Amino acid sequence: MDRSPSEPNCRTSSTSIGPMTAMAPKPVAMYSRIRGRATGRSTDDSVGLGAAEVTARFSHGQSGPIATITSLVLMKATSIGHAGILIETTDGSIVCDPWFLPAFRGSWCVFPRNDQLSSDLMARIENPDYLYISHIHGDHLDELWLPDHINREATVLVPGFPTDELERRLRALGFANVIRTVDGQEIVLNGDLRIAIHCETSITDGPGGDSAIVVSDGISRLVNQNDCRTTDLGSLRSHGPIDLHWIQYSGAIWYPMVYDETPQVMRELVDAKVESQFTRAMRYVEALDARCVVPSAGPPAFLDPDLFHLNMITGDELSIFPDQRSFMTLLDASNREGILAIPGTEIELRSDGYSVTHPIDDDSVAGIFNEKLEYLRRYQADWLPWIEELKTTWAEPTDDLIETLAAWWEPLLAMAPTLRKGIDDICVVHAGDLAIAIDFRDGTVRGWAGEPDGFSFHIDRRLVETVVAEHAVDWSNSLFLSCRFKAWRSGPYNEFVYNFFKSLSEERMRRTEAEALRKLDPDRGGIAGEEIRIGDYIVERTCPHRRADLSVFGEIDGENLVCTLHGWRFNLETGRCVNADEQILRVRRAESSEV
């Protein structure tokens, strides 16, 4: 099932847009290193000037050759589809979240399609200096495509997540050059190229976490937030003014479409979900206050006939997946500068503003959205054989599915009494004609006897067998995001149910139980007053930030103790928080007699 892109013959569309006053050019000689983008000849007077000196001379209108140059490319950001971006600067290139093959059991495809990019662009995508994967979800981490396409010499920029699960998976794909970053800390990669990766680590983001990256070339700055729900709205802006803000605005979950509701109720739920998505995205837009906003990271296209109804075409569909036009309208109404990008769109940040160049003409770009049904049907015809072939690989029924799940899940349930208490009911997984009861009250997995239940899922037996055969530790990623199931619940949403399915390993369940304990039992039976030993130090058991249990989340990293739940760091000698001065951790060196 190889991807076989065709290369269309098409005209490009280019638009130049007004000045970005905070940007100023680097020395002209440096731009010879941008592929095919040298914009001027160097002169003796300009060679060797630092970025700060050039900025000062340009900004103050000083005479000399530099002051006469009107447009230099500072940074180029090219959309490669969904959350994918190729960022090119004079000091290196970064490819972010390259996704090309249908994800989530063949359910999600890139929209607009990115299987027709030019050979030149594909060569640049496949040979970056750096590779950044924001998180583990299949529309960001394309484990089928990456090992066959991205140069293994690329240096991988790994977010500072509490666990090294993402790093392990990338190393397993053959990427050995790894830089593990620290949450929110800016580092220099090469020359003036700097990055800072900000992490979100709540269990609702998946125990593996989510992240956003800030990229600067010393003059211009790009924030790729993708679908990271940053809780500290000021953190991404703390590195300086932002020129480009790439952000998710569309849906990225199965709710509410998979639930059994009347059309009227579903209409209300869908509209409320879309409104909340837009409200959240606009809050980020306002907080970051970037010069330009690029709607990205969605929506996907659903090409499988079983899921085609999830595409939002007229706007009347019962779906949470509006496309770029809707958010562009919202940005315009808020007097925000939005850029509509399709795969292959190049945004060049220049000394005198920025330019946008599409890989096809303006009428063709408009046609993607104005004639969306026809566009999707052509796309579907090209990819449906691939999707159908994929479905033939789903596992056939086994004779011991319940026994296998019991042996796997019951030890995990025993680790999580607080999570179980938060559910306190039976969840039934209907895998075809086999009904499996997960009894959170007593921590058992067994055949369902027809007793009352609080939650249920109806899933193709082959899909359940497939994720079990894979020993998938996150069914949110491996199954639920496919939208290939139906769900029911007797009461309101219960996050602990989905947190269980996201945490099907000891590593993940340990964190999930600790998070449940923090939420359901803030006093934790008095552990706030306890002290524990970590390495050579005695520390208070709960983190001063959000009272996380440091016996689970505490790790020593050099001179600091790190609470890996949210990434807060405390100096081991003083107890002072590196992230916030007002937070103090009680810590001392352990005596030999202290265990």
| Pair (145, 255) in one structural domain | yes
| Pair (351, 430) in one structural domain | no
Task: Work out the number of other CB atoms within 10 angstroms of the CB of residue 244.
Answer: 24
| Pair (284, 174) in one structural domain | yes
Q: How many distinct structural domains can be found in the chain?
A: 3
Closest CA to 258 of 461, 488, 529, 534: 488
Residue that is last in its domain, among 461, 488, 518: 518
| Pair (308, 334) in one structural domain | yes
Task: Work out the number of other CB atoms within 10 angstroms of the CB of residue 264.
Answer: 8
| Pair (358, 415) in one structural domain | no
d(CA 294, CA 246): 5
How many residues does this entry show for the chain? 595
Determine, yes or no, domain membership for 482: yes
Residue that is last in its domain, among 331, 358, 388: 388
Determine, yes or no, domain membership for 3: no
With a CB cutoff of 8 Å and minimum separation 6, the contacts of 358 are: 12, 13, 14, 342, 344, 345, 365
Determine, yes or no, domain membership for 594: no
| Pair (455, 529) in one structural domain | no
| Pair (542, 502) in one structural domain | no
The 10s digit of each residue's pLDDT in 472-507 is 999 999 999 999 999 999 988 898 999 999 999 998
Determine, yes or no, domain membership for 432: yes
Determine, yes or no, domain membership for 245: yes
The residue-averaged pLDDT of 211-229 equals 95
The two tokens of residue 132 are: 């950044």
d(CA 368, CA 591): 69
The 10s digit of each residue's pLDDT in 89-144 is 999 999 999 999 999 999 999 999 999 999 999 999 999 999 999 999 999 999 99
| Pair (489, 528) in one structural domain | no
| Pair (383, 435) in one structural domain | no
The 3-class SS string of 496-517 reads HHHHHHCCCCHHHHHHHHHHHH
Task: Give the CATH number for residue 255.
Answer: 3.60.15.10
The two tokens of residue 118 are: 């030019």
Residue that is last in its domain, among 367, 388, 409: 388
| Pair (485, 560) in one structural domain | no
The two tokens of residue 32 are: 């010879």
Q: Is the pLDDT of residue 300 over 70?
A: yes
Task: Give the CATH number for residue 493.
Answer: 3.30.1050
Residue numbers of the domain that contains 424: 401-518
Task: Give the CATH number for residue 566.
Answer: 2.102.10.10
Determine, yes or no, domain membership for 55: no
Amino acid 593: pLDDT: 66
Contacts 24+ apart (CB under 8 A), 164-169: 165/136, 165/208, 165/507, 166/133, 166/135, 166/136, 166/141, 166/208, 166/209, 169/136, 169/141, 169/143
User: How far is residue 304 from each of residues 380, 400, 456, 509, measured CA to CA in Å?
Assistant: 8, 30, 24, 33
| Pair (354, 416) in one structural domain | no
Determine, yes or no, domain membership for 177: yes
Amino acid 110: pLDDT: 98
Task: Work out the number of other CB atoms within 10 angstroms of the CB of residue 394.
Answer: 17
The 10s digit of each residue's pLDDT in 13-57 is 555 554 443 333 232 222 222 222 322 222 233 223 233 333 332
| Pair (409, 459) in one structural domain | yes
The two tokens of residue 509 are: 């369940």
